[in-house]
């Protein structure tokens, strides 16, 4: 999905594969994204953030972002810069072909081409 694409809408059980190696699968309750590379994780609008907690433990830096509408973004990096975890719940996400992941509140006007 590029920044200029339409939002991805999948029914339960559907899968969508992109020509750049990403694969999206919808279950009954969640959308699973398999991405070939993730180069960065970011927020599309910091004004939508209720809280952002950062914890450093045993060579990991873990971030937990809570949005005003109750959505949550969690991600963790190792000290070597490797992404260890990326979990989005109740948020909209835009993913670019070069591996940038941007998250925001559902329906955020600041996040074009997003999937919920």
pTM for this prediction: 0.75
Residue 1, pLDDT above cutoff 50: no
Residue 50: band (very low, low, confident or very high) from pLDDT cuts 50, 70, 90: very high
The tally of CA atoms less than 13 A away on the side-chain side of residue 65 is 24
For 58-101, the pLDDT digits (tens) are 999 999 999 999 999 999 999 988 888 888 888 888 888 888 88
Residue 39: band (very low, low, confident or very high) from pLDDT cuts 50, 70, 90: confident
**For residue 43, what are the β-bridge partners?**
103
* DSSP string computed for 26-54: E-SS-EEEE-S---EEEES-GGGEEEEEE
Dihedral, 4, 8, 9, 13 alpha carbons, nearest 10? 170
Residue-level pLDDT at 116: 45
């Amino acid at each position: 999905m590029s920044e200029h694409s339409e939002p991805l809408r999948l029914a339960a059980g559907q899968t969508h594969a992109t020509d750049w190696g990403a694969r999206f699968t919808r279950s009954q309750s969640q959308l699973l994204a398999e991405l070939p590379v993730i180069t960065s994780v970011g927020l599309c609008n910091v004004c939508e953030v209720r809280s952002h907690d950062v914890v450093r433990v045993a060579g990991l830096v873990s971030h937990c972002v809570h949005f005003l509408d109750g959505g949550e973004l969690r991600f963790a990096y190792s000290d070597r810069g490797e992404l260890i975890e990326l979990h989005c719940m109740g948020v909209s996400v835009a993913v670019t072909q070069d591996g940038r992941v941007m998250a925001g509140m559902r329906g955020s006007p600041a996040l074009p081409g997003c999937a919920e």
